[in-house]
Amino acid sequence: MKQSIFLWLIITIILSSCNSKSDDTKTGPLLDPTLQLIGDAPKKKIRTVGILLYDGFATLDAMGPHHVLKEMMGTNVFFIAKQKGTITNGGGIKIDVHRSIEDVDSLDILVVPGGFKETYLMTKDTAVLNWIRRIDKTTTYTTSVCTGAWIVGAAGLLKDKNATTHWFGKDILKNEFGAKIHDRRWVRDGKYWSSAGVTAGMDMSVALVANIMGEPYARAALLDLEYDPQSPIEGGSEFNTDKETVDMMRKMYSTGMEEVKLSLTKRPKVEAAKLVSFLDPVCKMKVNYATGDSAVYKGKTYKFCSKMCKESFEKDPGSFVASK
């Protein structure tokens, strides 16, 4: 829809220009709504937006901001990875990335999406962290979505800065990376912008468009996207969800995080050939074969993101394994 909207804007400008030539005393009635829609000139020149991808990133953390920020005409939004090639996200979607961190030495906006286990492992990747520090020196905005704030924090960029992240990840962002945590959908501290979990990345991106292009332009973008979230049920926040559900989810995340931290200090040798899949058969989360609980079913080894998934599997393994 974006191209059709802006094509209409161009046609409107042309028509209003012709109208003004035929009668110099007219202001051009078609021009006024066009100016109201586009708004003033952009406050900042944004030409390049790079979104850092890595195995295990959460789909909407990257794709939401990609779609919203593409609404800014003349802006090149692209993906970057540590190395060129295929990146597999947390849901198993494969994306070909054509730019490596070695190919990119400056950006106007950096977006770092989140995930879970692989995201925490990225906080220990010296090459990526050094690249983020270098890129940050060139950016107008350095941003993160969800637990992507862990990675930006690990680069030392959020220490003593106001920030937010996924509700489970707040303690890690505060205790390990020194950020000042706020319970908001998105937070701005100078050039550093961060969002809460997953869907909040779109809210932050809309705010960025408004900050750069002005609110009239952002409203047009919102209408183009028909972005008007209305959840059919109450929930989505630790503050409006029942305690039992919050506690259950927190336990699941905590178990998974304990395992990934253990993997950083102890990496058991596993015969990869015996593994049927790198996906947890219960929740379908990608699992590092060197970590997590495991169970053997019909002579084959399956890996799990948490003890909860392993227990569910052991109760009825056949329901999680497709018969051949």
Catalytic residues: 146
Residues 6+ positions from 49 with CB-CB distance below 8 Å: 69, 75, 76, 77, 78, 107, 108, 109, 110, 111
Strands 85-88, 94-97: pairing kind: antiparallel
φ and ψ at residue 44, rounded to 5 degrees:
-135, 145
Q: Do 65 and 111 touch, CB atoms closer than 8 A?
A: yes
Q: Is 200 exposed, middle or buried (0-12, 13-18, 19+ CB in 10 A)?
A: buried
Cβ density class 221-258: b for 16+ within 10 Å, e for less: bbebeebeeeeeeeebebeeeeeeebeeeeebbebbbe
